[in-house]
Structure 1
């Protein structure tokens, strides 16, 4: 899949990781055929990701134009004057001249400063006035300057997308919206809205998530143990994870599974040698519970918290 020409591809998703994990995993992924790498300044590992990409370019495995790198603008960099410096920091850390996609990680602005998660003396998060249109205009200037090929957003609801799409003088529309998406949370209304607007949905947590109660909604049962996914997997001699990924890819959703296991990284890529039938697709769609694993409730009092809206 040539990610320089299309977003409909397979990719990698990284949260903050132990030293060396990202470096090794990205090399394994590129060797396995992955070309879309999903990163962020706040994952604290862009230096490792950049090193792995450079080494795979140097040894002839890929060219720079084969790699599709997505970076993210964090909440503390929303003021327009901070947008380009944030992107330039990512470029410097990766040691790249440009990235392929730069997205607003959350619609929720935090107080700018030295920390990514600013809190007051009572431990409460310190928010910042949000002007998504002003932030977007600063991103458009970065694209015009050649620092990034395409612009997108993440965790935006329909209202927030419309703020950007209806902005007077819009030069570059969002090409993608990265949101939670999997068989237990299929996002039918947001997916349809984005299709109409020619915005690609990139699905994070496509296999569900870890069971870490500090940030995951444990009311939602483990996705990969679902009886239907397990039985469909058995039919194709695949895993329930491969079926969950195939389901999203077949409905035009880009998937970004996170893994540090070389075997799982390779396994997650092996979903292009089978197809789900129409009946199977419809059956898996009925699994939708409309429950998020990733609710981010710690920020639910932010004026731009995106998940109060239906979609």
Structure 2
């Protein structure tokens, strides 16, 4: 890992020759206009890693924000690391490249820095993103394996418009299976991770194989129990004169992971980028004194994204 004087500019090396900006801005924002405005605010704040997805249905808005920044001369394409994702209904090998090319067109870029399989679960292929049977159950696709989808992803890198590939919402056991058969190893895996779900085993495996672990829901997604109200986090925040959110994001980068954060509020976006290194004793406190263990998103079990409030 290479770190400049400011933690916010950290870039993490992959097993290849590239590096990935640790601070990432997620674009899971329902309204396209809000998506465009938030993306522009993120770029102005200093974020240089944008995380997108076919599933979010707003790639055009992200593309518009990037294009305007390029036209204004404030940024060049090489300044940005752009990630987007293959949705579950496009796992069959013949559907991978058309889905990838469609994302490129919507994002208005010639190359994608990292193309990620959104979940390891294949859904029935077709235009319906969330296929369900008459009883409301997800219709899965048993006609394709994750290994076959991965091989199609590898061919995207061969073709030259995709710089790297990765996986999301994956367990360490499933990641081991892909690494074992991969001709081109994942550059990045994206999973829920925060002080209540540190995923140390997965992080150790990623380090061993030169894979970047990127944490989504790095602040706990405003769920209960609240990461940002944890007494260990709030006490550290008071000591270092930062917000609890800034403490949690600094912890993510200092332990060697990238993170994603999302907001539509410019002030909150700037705050999320304005992180500083924590004292080592604070890092140890978070690791040793926080004992709460919670996964907020059950997508790793079903392939269906979504944060479900816990019963009280």
Normalised by the size of structure 2, how large is the TM-score?
0.88
Structure-1 separation of matches of 2:262 and 2:273: 12
Offset at 1:298? 7.6
Matched residue SS, 2:283: helix
Matched residue SS, 1:284: helix
Offset at 1:290? 2.9
1:257 and 2:261 equivalent? yes
Offset at 1:5? 4.1
Q: Find the counterpart in structure 2 of residue 215 from structure 1.
A: none
Offset at 1:288? 4.5
- 1:121-160 matches, within 5 Å, as 121-129=134-142, 130-160=144-174
Offset at 1:191? 0.8
Is the contact made by 1:186 and 1:288 (CA closer than 8 Å) also made in structure 2?
no
- After superposition, the Cα gap between the structure-2 partners of 1:124 and 1:16, relative to the gap in structure 1 and judged at 3 Å, is farther
Q: Find the counterpart in structure 1 of residue 116 from structure 2.
A: 103
- After superposition, the Cα gap between the structure-2 partners of 1:28 and 1:8, relative to the gap in structure 1 and judged at 3 Å, is closer
1:223 and 2:250 equivalent? no
Structure-2 separation of matches of 1:8 and 1:114: 33
Q: Find the counterpart in structure 2 of residue 291 from structure 1.
A: 294
Q: Find the counterpart in structure 2 of residue 280 from structure 1.
A: 282
Per mean C-alpha deviation after superposition, the further-off stretch among 14-23 and 230-239 is 14-23
Q: Find the counterpart in structure 2 of residue 308 from structure 1.
A: none
Q: Find the counterpart in structure 2 of residue 309 from structure 1.
A: none
Structure-2 separation of matches of 1:284 and 1:298: 27
Matched residue SS, 1:149: coil
Structure-2 separation of matches of 1:100 and 1:48: 18
Offset at 1:210? 3.6
Structure-1 separation of matches of 2:67 and 2:258: 24
Matched residue SS, 1:256: strand
Structure-1 separation of matches of 2:10 and 2:222: 30
Structure-1 separation of matches of 2:23 and 2:53: 17
Deviations along 1:262-289, one digit per CA (max 9) or x if unpaired, are 0000000000xx3212221111113143
Offset at 1:155? 1.4
Q: Find the counterpart in structure 1 of residue 184 from structure 2.
A: 172
**Residue 198 of structure 1: which of 173, 192, 210 is its match?**
210
Structure-1 separation of matches of 2:243 and 2:184: 40
Is the contact made by 2:240 and 2:278 (CA closer than 8 Å) also made in structure 1?
no
Offset at 1:116? 0.6
Structure-2 separation of matches of 1:12 and 1:245: 12
Q: Find the counterpart in structure 1 of residue 80 from structure 2.
A: 67
Matched residue SS, 2:261: coil
Is the contact made by 1:8 and 1:253 (CA closer than 8 Å) also made in structure 2?
no
**Residue 43 of structure 2: which of 30, 53, 68 is its match?**
30
Is the contact made by 1:72 and 1:103 (CA closer than 8 Å) also made in structure 2?
yes
Q: Find the counterpart in structure 1 of residue 3 from structure 2.
A: none
Per mean C-alpha deviation after superposition, the further-off stretch among 3-12 and 189-198 is 3-12
Matched residue SS, 2:132: coil
Deviations along 1:62-114, one digit per CA (max 9) or x if unpaired, are 11011100000111010000000110110111111111000111001100112
